[in-house]
Structure 1
Amino acid sequence: MIVAGFGFRQSASLASLEGALEGVTGGAFVIDALATLDRKAAQLAPLARKLALPLIAIPADRLADQPTLTHSSASLAAHGAGSVAEAAALAALGPEARLLAPRFLSPDRLASCALAESPFP
C-alpha cells in the first residue's frame, strides 16, 4: 500500500496539492490513499474526491514520532515533525512503513507531498 502524505499552507489551492502530488509521483506510483493532519483534512478532501481515494486524517500528536528525511524549521515549531507530508504518510501506515520519496514542494511552494509504503495491504 502506498500513501501520499500532504503538508500545506491554508492558502494552498487544489492546483497546489495536485502539483505536489504530480511532482513526487512522476507518474511512477499508484497511490492507494491520501493523508494529512486531521485539522487540515477538509482542505485535502476535494483532491481525495477527485482521485476517488480514501483520506486518512492524522492526529497532530502522531506526527512527532515519525522519522522524516527532510526538516523544515516551521514544521518543527508548529507540529514537532521535520515534515508534515513525510510524517503524515508514515503515520497513516504504521510502524512498518518506510518513505518511498521525501517531500516534494508544489511549483507555488504552498504544498508538499511525500510517499510512504507499507509491506502490508
Structure 2
Amino acid sequence: MERDAMMVAGFGFRSGATLASLRDALAHATAALQPAMPAQAIALLATAHDKADAPCLRALADALGVPVFAVEAARMNATATLTDHATVRMLRGSGSTAEAAALAAALIHAGPGAALLHPRAVSTDRLATCALAARTQPPESRP
C-alpha cells in the first residue's frame, strides 16, 4: 500500500482480550466508516509498546498479513485523542490507547496530514478497543 494511503488500526485491550475481541473491535471500527471499509485495507496494526507482543494481537496481525508497530509511551502520551477516558488516562497517560496508537503510527508511517477517522470502537465483550487513522489530506505538492 502506498505511503499516502496507509490505513492504521490502533488497539487498546485488557489482559483477558482474545483474538475474537480484537476482531470484533476492528469490525465495529470499520463499520463506523461510510462507506464501510474492509479490514483488508488495513496496512498496519499499532498499540502501546508493552502490548505489542500480546498473542491476540500477533494472531490478528498474522491473519491480516500486516505488521505490528509498537508505540513508545512518550509518543502515546503526546498524541491527542478524541476520547478522554479517565481510567485509561490514569493508567496509561493517554485518553485512549487505541486512538493514540493509531494516530501516532499513522503520523510516523503515512506522514503529516494523518488523522483519526472517528473515535475508538469498543468490542462487544468490552475487552478491546480499535481506532482507525490515515492520511486525510493530500501531500503538499512541491514546485
**TM range, smaller chain:** over 0.9
Percentage of matched positions with identical amino acids? 50
CA positional deviation for 1:81: 0.7
The verdict on how the C-alpha distance between 1:21 and 1:36 changes in structure 2, with shifts beyond 3 A counting, is same
Instruction: Compare CA radii of gyration and give the structure with the larger one.
Output: 2
TM-score by length of 2: 0.79
For residues 54 and 102 of structure 1, what CA distance do their matches in structure 2 show? 23
Structure 1 segments of 4 or more deviating over 6 A?
A: none
Aligned twin of 1:41: 52
Aligned twin of 2:102: 89
CA positional deviation for 1:102: 1.2
CA positional deviation for 1:96: 3.3
Letter of the structure 2 residue corresponding to residue 88 of structure 1: A
Aligned twin of 1:109: 126
CA positional deviation for 1:6: 0.2
**Residue 33 of structure 2 corresponds to residue 28 of structure 1:** no
For residues 115 and 12 of structure 1, what CA distance do their matches in structure 2 show? 19
Aligned twin of 1:56: 69
Letter of the structure 2 residue corresponding to residue 113 of structure 1: C
List gaps (5 residues or longer) in structure 2: 1-5
Bigger strand share: 1
Aligned twin of 1:67: 80
CA positional deviation for 1:120: 7.6
For residues 5 and 96 of structure 1, what CA distance do their matches in structure 2 show? 17
List gaps (5 residues or longer) in structure 1: none
Letter of the structure 2 residue corresponding to residue 63 of structure 1: M
For residues 88 and 13 of structure 1, what CA distance do their matches in structure 2 show? 19
